[in-house]
């Protein structure tokens, strides 16, 4: 049950990060992306996600954030 709750929290955070990255506000996008990364790190540390899985997801989010920052 605890792992299910943590996975749900991760999905919500990653979804919010993707929506933030699709928006125009760069500061908000950075804020929600870093929050999602914290959740992914926490899940990897607890063993909910494999560390490489969390790293891959974080890399994809950061790549999108870097592209957004490069545009502005």
Give this prediction's pTM: 0.90
pLDDT tens-place string over residues 18-68: 999 998 889 999 999 999 999 999 999 999 999 999 999 999 999 999 999
Within 10 A of 70 (CB to CB), how many other CB atoms are there?
7
- CB-CB contact of 43 with 6 (8 Å): yes
pLDDT value at residue 43: 96
Residue with tokens 């990364």: 37
DSSP state of 10: H
Q: Which domains are delineated in the chain?
A: 2-71 (1.20.58.110)
């Amino acid at each position: 049950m605890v792992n299910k709750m943590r996975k749900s929290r991760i999905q919500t955070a990653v979804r919010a990060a993707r929506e933030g990255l699709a928006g125009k506000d760069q500061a908000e996008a950075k804020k929600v992306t870093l929050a999602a990364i914290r959740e992914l790190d926490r899940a990897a540390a607890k063993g909910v996600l494999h560390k490489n899985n969390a790293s891959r997801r974080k890399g994809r989010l950061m790549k999108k954030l870097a592209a957004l920052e490069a545009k502005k």
